[in-house]
């Protein structure tokens, strides 16, 4: 019995270490902010494309993590946005509507996100209106509240937590079985890996689809360096100014989020 106990104690650090490293595949869904103008809805030649147009942008992301840090990166081959016979034309229509939209979610794309747990250091690359930015700072200090709700997700026991950050309502499901304070993108700070996140009732959704607990090369988890480096305050100012420019153009045209469509 003593030998078995000794063996269990020796194996415990290895088991805990294994649970603190791995790779998680996430799906991300962001609702489109643009509205299709009524005159376009009434064009017979566009009806099939508009009917098949998804309400959101979908992407696959890979989260590498260990006991010290995490890195979320886009999967090189994203899923097609639309699945219709004339997909190129439909995708082109979505792109043009997004380009003319004054909605931030249509103009902004989150790329790499690195987080260091110890001090909350975060480095992100974002694409805004085709310009890439590098933002560094500290991960938001989410004031998580545990709801007491429990469930199961991908075979892991998960618990629900909620928070409000910058007027956004965040709902997260995390598992203490993977004892690292990480999650997709900037979300984290809970006593376990976040496997699912919903922001503003599903406006943005992150959902894990596969979890592999395995040793990860620490050199693969490093902060991004590409992009025009700006502070979060500078970035927010740029975003606000550019979106206001789009709104002014829309007002001059007397139309909505039409992109380059006439």
What's the whole-number mean pLDDT along residues 136-161? 96
What's the whole-number mean pLDDT along residues 128-142? 91
The larger pLDDT score, comparing residue 136 to residue 81, is at 136
What's the whole-number mean pLDDT along residues 133-143? 94
Q: What is the pTM of this model?
A: 0.76
Beta carbons of 139 and 186 less than 8 angstroms apart: yes
Q: How far apart are CA 233 and CA 107, in angstroms?
A: 18
**Residue 260 in this model has a pLDDT that exceeds 50:** no
Q: How far apart are CA 175 and CA 154, in angstroms?
A: 10
**258 half-sphere exposure, CB direction, 13 A CA radius:** 16
- Catalogue the E-assigned strands of 166-220: 168-175, 193-199, 204-212
Query: What pLDDT, on a 0 to 100 scale, did the predictor assign at position 108?
Result: 75
The C-alpha angle with vertex 78 and arms to 184 and 117, in degrees rounded to 5, equals 20
The helix or strand, by DSSP H or E, that contains position 96, with its residue range, turns out to be helix 87-99
Residue pLDDT, tens place only, 116-132: 999 999 999 998 888 89
Q: Is the Cα dihedral 165, 168, 169, 170 positive or negative?
A: negative
Beta carbons of 28 and 81 less than 8 angstroms apart: no
Residue pLDDT, tens place only, 214-229: 999 999 999 999 999 9
What's the whole-number mean pLDDT along residues 168-187? 96
Query: What pLDDT, on a 0 to 100 scale, did the predictor assign at position 153?
Result: 98
Q: Fill in the DSSP letter of residue 218.
A: G
Exposure class string for 16-42: b at 16+ Cβ within 10 A, else e: eeebbbbebebbbbbbbbbebbeebee
Place of tokens 């305050």: 233
Query: What pLDDT, on a 0 to 100 scale, did the predictor assign at position 8?
Result: 38
**Residue 7 in this model has a pLDDT that exceeds 50:** no
**Residue 11 in this model has a pLDDT that exceeds 50:** no
Coil, strand or helix at 192? coil
User: Mean pLDDT over all residues of the chain?
Assistant: 80
């Amino acid at each position: 019995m003593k030998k078995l106990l000794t063996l269990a104690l020796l194996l415990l650090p290895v088991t805990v270490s294994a649970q603190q490293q791995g790779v998680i595949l996430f799906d991300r869904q962001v609702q489109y902010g643009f509205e299709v103008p009524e005159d376009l809805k009434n064009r017979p030649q566009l009806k099939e494309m508009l009917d098949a147009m998804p309400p959101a942008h979908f992407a696959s992301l890979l989260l590498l993590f260990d006991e010290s840090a995490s890195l979320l990166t886009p999967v090189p081959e994203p899923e097609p946005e639309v699945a219709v016979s004339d997909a190129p034309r439909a995708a082109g229509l979505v792109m043009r509507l997004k380009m003319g939209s004054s909605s931030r979610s249509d103009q902004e794309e989150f790329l790499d996100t690195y987080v260091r747990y110890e001090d909350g250091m975060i480095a992100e690359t974002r694409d805004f209106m085709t310009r890439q930015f590098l933002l560094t700072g500290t991960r938001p200090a989410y004031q998580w509240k545990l709801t007491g709700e429990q469930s199961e997700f991908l075979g892991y026991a998960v618990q629900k937590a909620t928070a409000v950050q910058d007027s956004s309502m965040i709902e997260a499901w995390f598992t203490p079985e993977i004892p690292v304070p990480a999650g997709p993108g900037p979300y984290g700070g809970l006593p376990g890996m976040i496997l699912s996140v919903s922001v503003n009732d599903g406006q943005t959704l992150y959902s894990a689809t596969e979890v592999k607990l395995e040793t990860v090369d620490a050199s693969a988890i490093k902060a991004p360096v590409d992009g025009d480096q700006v502070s979060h305050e500078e970035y927010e100012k740029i975003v606000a100014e550019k979106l206001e420019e789009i709104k002014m153009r829309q007002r001059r045209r007397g139309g909505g989020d039409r992109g380059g469509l006439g």
